[in-house]
Amino acid sequence: MQYLFLLYADEKGWDQMTADQRKQGEASYTAYTNALREAKIYLGSNRLRPVGDATTVTMQTGQSRVLDGPYADTKEQLGGYYLVDLPDLDSAIAWANRCPGAHHGTIEVRPVWTM
Amino acid sequence: MGEATFRDAHRTAEAIARHSYGKLVAYLAARNRDVAAAEDALSDAFAAALVEWPRSGCPQKPEAWLLTVARRRLIDGTRRRIAGEQVADDVRDIVAASGCAEESEIPDQRLALMFACTHPSIDVAIRAPLMLQTVLGLDAARIASAFLVSPTTMGKRLVRAKEKIRSAGIPMQIPTRDELPARLADVLDAIYAAYAEGWNDHAATDTPRRQLADEALFLGHILVELAFDEPESLGLLALMLHIEARRRARRSAAGEYVPFDEQDPACWDAVMISAAETLLRRAAELGVMGRYQIEAALQSAHVHRRRCGVANWDDVVNLYDALLRFSPSPVVAINRALAIGECDGASAALAAMPDAAQDGRLIEYQPYWAARASLLARTGAHADAHHAYEMAIGLESDPAVRAFLQRRLRRIQM
């Protein structure tokens, strides 16, 4: 089954880090990504630019409405994702636990809708 | 068809439905985690059995017969759902898995099913109902009336939970050793929640809820059968048996509420108590303490005191101390305070009571006021006791308990 890990964390945490801490943080994500590849369960991942760079678009009212900022203003923001292929939810939870994002934020584990 | 054959077929089908339902559902659902499809296929198989068995006699291996029919339904369902090449693979898998013709070879995966039903990603409130349905085959209407929600609501919640097992990929397997204690605790909590729902004073006159206690006991027995070397499984069953043993003694012939210390030990079910004691000893031999074992040990201590007339309140306080460490809750703190009252007097007990100023939930909690009322009455603080009794009476919904508290209140007014 495919699962998407949505990584939520307070973006301000990154701003407050020293250059050294940032380097360390990046290294831990790289190590995690490599471990996923090594285990042959990695399908994809990306880090997202801060919500300040977000634009929200909807056509629900019949005409295009474009707004500056994220869909929802929350204390923790979506900052990245991993797409992985795993046999079941327990193995997904085990891998989400290992993700560095779980230590400074929260990970939402979502099964991908199979058609 | 002969009347005898017909009755025989029905009796066999009923016995299997009662004792093997969960085993058959777990087996059918294990492959693709589709509990709802497994239940549907199994109920089709039962329906077919009730037509076929009276006509041609009960098969030698009725469980295997049911599984074969149910599996055929599942394959048909799978065919309909999946298109293309995958069908052939799926069908081959299912046929390969159907090799076990001997009943004794049908693997018992009910424990794995219990773990799936109580998975942390399943809503806590639906875990007990889900287990009652998938493991014991109770229908949504019966579960709904026991849990005091509408059958439609319960039905929808159960469907949603089963859908989640399938679509979120909740595995049907026994957790690994390091995860086991926490996950087993969830299974135990769900069984005890079902038992507690069926066990309170309303339940004495309320058939669906009283039957729920029996079903929870049945789940407890299954769990012990499947996980017999888990001390907490043994502890939970011992606890439920101890409480169940005193069910009849909690009401007088006139339907009045009888508190524990005024019950007649001769009315207790001695067989259940002795079974509970055996389970508790077996748990103790395994050497890992836990919440349910301590709660069962407390029941055991109370029963021992009443039967032998030997005051053992120091032991009881020690057990409550231990219980507080495992599950710190105001309920435990209140009972501990009452036990202290028996050792060191009512003033010491009042000092040991949890403080409603610290925990606002206590204000609406009947046992808090009932405990305070009886302790205050003993210290002679009649005005405060009066207020506490009125609070307890106002918060109680069971008429028999309310009447009991009113009798106590009148006693201090004289």
Complex-level ipTM: 0.79
Distance CA B137, CA B131 (A): 9
Tell me the chain B residues in contact with residue A87 when contact means C-beta distances shorter than 8 Å.
Answer: 169, 171
Query: What are the domain boundaries of chain B?
Result: 3-107, 109-205, 228-310
Going by pLDDT thresholds of 50, 70 and 90, the confidence category of residue B242 is very high
What is residue B97's predicted lDDT score, i.e. its pLDDT?
46
Mean pLDDT of A89-107: 95
Q: How far is B163 from chain A (nearest CA, A)?
A: 12
- Where do the structural domains in chain A lie, given as residue ranges? 2-111
Q: What is the pLDDT of residue B126?
A: 95
| Cβ separation B121–A90 shorter than 8 A | no
| Minimum-distance CB partner of B167 among A86, A91, A111 | A111
Percent of chain B with pLDDT over 70: 91
Q: Which of A101-115, B70-84, B386-400 has the lowest mean pLDDT?
A: B70-84
Chain A positions touching chain B (beta carbons under 8 Å):
1, 3, 86-92, 111
Residues 6+ apart with CB under 8 A from B276: B237, B238, B239, B241, B242, B245, B296, B299, B300
Look at A111 and B170 and tell me if their CB atoms are within 8 Å: no
Q: Is the CB of B167 inside 8 Å of chain A's CB atoms?
A: yes
pLDDT digits 0-9 by tens, B261-276: 899 999 999 999 999 9
The pTM of the full predicted model, rounded to 2 decimals, is: 0.83
**More confident call, B119 vs B105:** B119
**pLDDT, tens only, B326-380:** 988 888 999 999 999 999 999 999 999 999 888 888 888 999 999 999 999 999 9
Task: Give me the pLDDT at residue B107, please.
Answer: 81
Is the domain spanning A2-111 CATH 3.30.70.1060? The answer is yes
B164 close to A (CB below 8 A): no
Q: Does pLDDT of B398 surpass 90? A: no
pLDDT in tens, A8-53: 999 999 999 999 999 999 999 999 999 999 999 999 999 999 999 9
Q: What is the pLDDT of residue B198?
A: 78
